Amino acid sequence: MKDHIDLSNLPQHIAVIMDGNGRWAKQQGAARVFGHRSAIKAVREVTEGCAELGVKYLTLYAFSTENWNRPKFEVDALMTLLVHTIRGEIKTLMDNNVRLATIGHTEALPKACQNELQEAIRATEGNTGLTLILALSYSGRWEIIEAVRQLAADVQRGQFQPEAIDEGLFSKYLATGNIPDPELMIRTSGEMRISNFMLWQLAYSEFYMPDVLWPDFRKPHLWEAILTYQKRERRFGKTSEQVVK
């Protein structure tokens, strides 16, 4: 299946809402946390898969602003898992030439998580392959408000006039800065919503929402997502006749 992927038409940026860990665990008669632990394999597979193909950016929605409202036990378990996973995966990141980055209100994470993240970001900063962006304590509305705040402060300082604000300038203030918008967004588990994820950046992304629960997601699912993306006609408001050459 991988052989059918057209490497000249790869998405540069793939964004994933990794969903379904709790349902996966429930199906096995296990606790939700077991689902989160079992999800690491899927993270590894999708990261390696993107690195193998030459995708430039992969954003994984790992923890939303709203997820802070889950039971404390589950939040604590997710944070502990995050620390252990980052520590354990640095070698895999190095082996695959992957650079780690984050978006989101990471100051809200426990200090141990912040330290581990900083360590991994520093260790991988020289890598030139895939950039893996973890969205942590992230929400699209939070990100937009943050951008507006900084932009307003710069206007107040006289850096530019309000009239100078356009889409290009505003995008630079978002956490994704110079990263291209995702051409492809994948959400697993069959849920048909974006749950406050990359509200600005997903404006023209192709959505692919398979029923597979995140802990079961493997490279073939990624190939399938990319093949589906490559069959879509991206019209950006034009007519089909205009875009078909």
> Residue positions in the annotated binding site for Mg(2+)?
19, 206
Reading phi first (left if > 0) and then psi (alpha if -120 to 50, else beta), residue 101 is in beta
- Taking CB within 5 to 8 Å according to partner kind, which of ligand IPE, Mg ion, none is near residue 23? ligand IPE
Q: Where are the alpha helices (DSSP H) in 3-105?
A: 21-27, 32-38, 40-53, 72-95
Interface with ligand IPE in residues 74-93 (CB under 6 A): 78
Enclosing H/E stretch for 101: strand 99-103
Examine residue 78 and tell whether it contacts Mg ion (CB under 5 A).
no
Query: Considering CB distances under 5 to 8 angstroms, the limit depending on partner class, which of ligand IPE, Mg ion, none binds residue 116?
Result: none
Residues in binding site: 19-24, 32, 36, 64-66, 68, 70, 187, 193-195, 206
Segment near Mg ion (CB under 5 A); pick from 16-24, 27-35, 212-220, 223-231: 16-24
Task: Please report how close the Cβ of residue 5 comes to ligand IPE at its closest, in angstroms.
Answer: 25
Among 12, 23, 119, 144, contact with ligand IPE (rule: CB under 6 A): 23
Specify burial of residue 136 (Cβ count, 10 A radius: 0-12, 13-18, 19+): buried
SS3 227: helix
Of 19, 96, 181, 216, catalytic: 19
Q: What are the strands of the beta sheet with 57-64, ordered from one edge?
A: 99-103, 131-138, 57-64, 13-17, 184-187, 206-208
The radius of gyration of the chain's CA atoms, rounded to the nearest angstrom, is 19
- The residues, any chain, with a CB within 8 Å of residue 51's CB and separated by 6 or more, are 96, 97, 98, 129, 130
- Give, as one character, the DSSP assignment of residue 167: H
- Say whether 19 is catalytic: yes
Rank residues 10 and 86 by Cβ distance to ligand IPE and give the closer one.
Answer: 86
Q: Which of 17, 101, 185, 198 binds ligand IPE (CB under 6 A)?
A: 17
Answer yes or no whether residue 139 interacts with ligand IPE by CB under 6 A.
no
Binding of ligand IPE by 198 (CB under 6 A): no
Q: Is 67 part of the annotated catalytic residue set?
A: yes
Of 10, 13, 16, 19, the one binding Mg ion by CB under 5 A: 19
In the list 20, 49, 104, 140, the residue contacting ligand IPE (rule: CB under 6 A) is 20
Residue 53: which of 103, 98, 120 has the closest Cα? 98
Given the residues 3, 6, 9, 67, select the one marked as catalytic.
67
Stretch that binds ligand IPE, among 55-63, 80-88, 100-108, 166-174 (CB under 6 A): 55-63
Query: Pick from 189, 185, 233, 241: which is nearest to 210 by CA?
Result: 189
How many CA atoms within 13 Å lie on the side-chain side of 18? 30
Known catalytic residues are 19, 67
Residues that bind ligand IPE (CB under 6 A): 17-23, 61-64, 67, 78, 189, 191, 193, 195
Residues that bind Mg ion (CB under 5 A): 19
